[in-house]
Structure 1
Amino acid sequence: MNKELATYPFPYSKAALLDSRIKIPRPIIDPALAPIVDSCLLPEDLDLDFMRGVSAGEDNEAFVYNADTVIKSAPHLDHTEHSVPGPDGNAVILSVFAPREPTTAALPALYHIHGGGMVAGDRFTAVCELLDVLKGIECVIVSVEYRLAPETRAPGPAEDCYAGLVWASENAASLGIEPAAIVVWGVSGGGALAAAMCLMARDRNSPAIPIMGQMLLSPMLDDRCDSVSDQQFEYGSPWCGVSNRMAWAHVIGEDRGTDKITPYQSPSRAEDLSNLPPTYIDAAECEVFRDPAVLYAMKMWRCGSTCELHVWPGAFHLFDGMDNATVPLIHAAIVAKQTWLGRMIQPTRIDS
C-alpha cells in the first residue's frame, strides 16, 4: 500500500458498546462468529487503492486470484478465455471453467459476477471459494470481467455483464453449456449487477432462452442507503454505512440518492419485479444490506415472482465466504446455497 489507512478502532462484535456514535439498538454478532469478524478490522472510509490492493491479494499470497490459482484448487477443470463485444466498443472478457471430463455434452452453467462494491475485484475474485459451494454440482462456471467504477459509472458495469451473458447463451453449444440452465450468481456489489442484468434480460427479451435463476448474495441493491439496517450499521461493521455511501457515490456520481436513478443503476429503484427468474436472496442480520435485500424479496413476491429468502441471525457481511464446518451458522448458509442450486440444476441432468 502507498498509504496507511486508519482501521476501525474497536472489535466489531463490541462496537455497539464501545462506539459512542452508535445510538440505536441493533442485533448482536453471534458469539461463534465474533473471533472471525474481529480478526480483520477495516477502514471506515472507502479507499480505491486499498480496496483494489485487497482484492488483488496484494498483502497475502493465499488470497491471490488468477486462472492458475483456480485450476490449482480444482485440477479437474479447464480454463478458456473469451473476448466478446461490450456495450461501448469495449471488450468484455469471460473466463470459462469447465470440467475436463463432463458427463454430458451440455452442462448447467453458473454465470459468476464478483463482489467488491463495483469498485474493485476481477473475474477471478472468490472463484476458489465458489468452488467449495459447487462441490457435488457438475456445472460450467462463466466469470465476467466488468469495468469498475468510478472509471465506468452505472449502468456501464451491468451492461458489460449483460453483454457477456447474452454471448454465453448464444454460444452455449461451443461452451458445453445447456442454455436453458444458466443460473446467475452475484455477490455484494456483484449482486447489484446480477439483479440489474436480470431486469435487462427481462425487458429486452434477450437472451432468447430465459435465465434459469438468479442468486443475490448479500446484494448491494439500493443507492439511497436510508433503510433501518443502513442506519443500524452506519458504524462498527466490516462494510459500514460510511463505506457503502462512498462506494455508491463512485458507482453513480452526484445523482446518488436522487429521483434520476434507474433500476439498471440501482435495482431497488425498480417497481416492477414481475416475470423474473426464480431467485435466491440472502443477507446477514448485522449488515447494511439486510433490509434492502428483504424489501427486494417482498417486492418480488408482490409482483408475482418467486424468491427464497434467508437472513442469517447474528451474521456479518460475507460471513460465509468460506465454509467452516465447525461453525454451524456458516455451514448452514453454505448448505442452503448448495440445496437451492442443486434443486434448480439437478432436473436438467436426468439423462446424465
Structure 2
Amino acid sequence: MRGVASGEQECSHGSFIFNAETVLRDNPHLSHTEHSIPGPDNNIITLSVFEPNEPSKAPRPVLYHIHGGGMVSGDRFTAVTPVIDLLKGIDCVVVSVEHRLAPETRAPGPAEDCYAGLVWVSENASSLGIDPAAIVVFGVSGGGALAAATCLMARDRKRPAIPIKAQMLYSPLLDDRCESLADQQFEYGNPASTAWLRAIWDLILGDARGSEHVTPYQAPARETDLSSLPAAYIDAGECEVFRDVAVAYATKMWRGGSTCELHIWPGAWHGFDMMDDPNMPLIHVANMAKANWLQRVMRSVKDE
C-alpha cells in the first residue's frame, strides 16, 4: 500500500514523504505537538498529537492512530493524512503512536507499545483536551493487528480502565497461520500475496509462527473469546489475503455479543482505497463508508 514510508524517507511506491511538516501542509487547520513517554521495556514511545487550531469549549473525541507497514516498517506519520481526510467534519484530536518494529522487536512488543501509549492518552485526557470516554482505536494493515491487540489488552487488564468507544480495523493483518481460502487463492501474483504474508509473520514472530505458542496479543485471530469488546468496523478487499480472516474475526465478535460492521469490497486488493484514481468509484465508496462510521461513533459520544 502507498503509505509504507518512514520519517524523512521517500516511499518506494512514489514520491511521498511523511513527516509532521507534510501533514500540517495538507491540514493547515491542525497544530502538532509531540510527547515522549516510557515504554514497557525501558524504551521510549513517541506520540504525535494533531489537534484543531480552533479552541473547543468541550473535550474532543480522539482517534488513536496505529500506522500500517506490516509491523516491520513505517512510523507515526505514515499515511496519516488519508486518515485525517476520513475525519473531515469531525471536531476531534488525532494521536499517532510510534511503536517498535519487527524483527528487532518481536510481537507482542509493538502491541505493548501501543497499549502503553493508549494508557498515557487516557490518563492525560484532561491536559490533551480530549474526552476519555470517546477514544476510537484505529489501525490499518499491520496497525490493524496492533489495534485489535490493544483493544484485547484493554479489555483483559482492566486496570487502568480504558473505556474505548470503538475500534476500526482497516484491512487488518490478524492471523499468522495463513490457512484460509484467500491464502490459497492469492499465494502468488497479488500485491500482498500469501508468500509475502508468511515472510512478514516470520519477521514478527520468528520460529513461533503457526505454532500453538502464539498468543492473541501477537496474532489477534488466536483469541477465541471476542466478547466485551468495543464496537468495530472491519473491512478488506475481496481479492486480498486478509479477506477470510476479517470475516472470521467479525463472526467471532458477533458470536461473543460484540458489535461489528463488516465490509468486503468486491474485486478490491490490499490498500486499494488509499489510491487516488477517479476511474475507480469503489475507492470513494469504501472511504465514505469509513468516514460515515467514524462520524456516527465519534459524534454519538456528545449525544450520550
Task: Give the TM-score band, short-chain normalised.
Answer: over 0.9
| Secondary structure at 2:272 match in 1 | coil
| Secondary structure at 1:332 match in 2 | helix
Q: 1:177 to 1:287 in 2, by over 3 A?
A: same
**Match of residue 123 from structure 2:** 170
TM-score (norm 1): 0.82
How far does the alpha carbon of each residue in 1:179-226 deviate from its partner, in whole angstroms, 9 at most, with x for none?
Answer: 100100000000000001100000001442410000001100000011
**Match of residue 151 from structure 2:** 198
- Report the CA distance between 1:103 and its aligned residue: 3.4
**Match of residue 296 from structure 1:** 249
**Unmatched runs of 5 consecutive residues or more in structure 2:** none
Question: How far apart in 1 are the matches of 2:295 and 2:5?
Answer: 33
**Match of residue 227 from structure 1:** 180
Q: How many residues align?
A: 303
Question: How far apart in 1 are the matches of 2:96 and 2:86?
Answer: 15
**Match of residue 229 from structure 2:** 276
8 Å contact from structure 1 (residues 80, 97) kept in 2: yes
Which amino acid is the alignment partner of residue 68 of structure 2?
A: G
8 Å contact from structure 1 (residues 133, 334) kept in 2: yes
Structure 1, 99-108 or 82-91: larger mean CA deviation: 99-108
**Match of residue 281 from structure 2:** 328
How far does the alpha carbon of each residue in 1:224-254 deviate from its partner, in whole angstroms, 9 at most, with x for none?
Answer: 0111101111111111111110000000010
Q: 1:53 to 1:79 in 2, by over 3 A?
A: closer
**Match of residue 141 from structure 1:** 94
**Match of residue 22 from structure 2:** 69
**Match of residue 25 from structure 1:** none
8 Å contact from structure 2 (residues 33, 49) kept in 1: yes
- Report the CA distance between 1:327 and its aligned residue: 2.6
Determine which structure has more spread, i.e. the larger CA radius of gyration: 1
8 Å contact from structure 1 (residues 216, 279) kept in 2: yes
8 Å contact from structure 2 (residues 46, 97) kept in 1: yes
Q: 1:55 to 1:239 in 2, by over 3 A?
A: farther
**Match of residue 267 from structure 1:** 220
| Secondary structure at 1:254 match in 2 | helix
Q: 1:53 to 1:80 in 2, by over 3 A?
A: closer
8 Å contact from structure 2 (residues 233, 261) kept in 1: yes
**Unmatched runs of 5 consecutive residues or more in structure 1:** 1-36, 41-50
Structure 1, 324-333 or 75-84: larger mean CA deviation: 324-333
Structure 1 position 128 matched with structure 2 position 85: no
Match for residue 71 of structure 2 among 92, 98, 118: 118
Q: What percent of counterpart residues are identical?
A: 64
Which amino acid is the alignment partner of residue 168 of structure 2?
A: M
**Match of residue 301 from structure 2:** 348
Question: How far apart in 1 are the matches of 2:137 and 2:155?
Answer: 14
8 Å contact from structure 1 (residues 92, 160) kept in 2: yes
Which amino acid is the alignment partner of residue 110 of structure 1?
A: L
Question: How far apart in 2 are the matches of 1:92 and 1:133?
Answer: 25
Q: 1:53 to 1:67 in 2, by over 3 A?
A: closer
TM-score (norm 2): 0.95
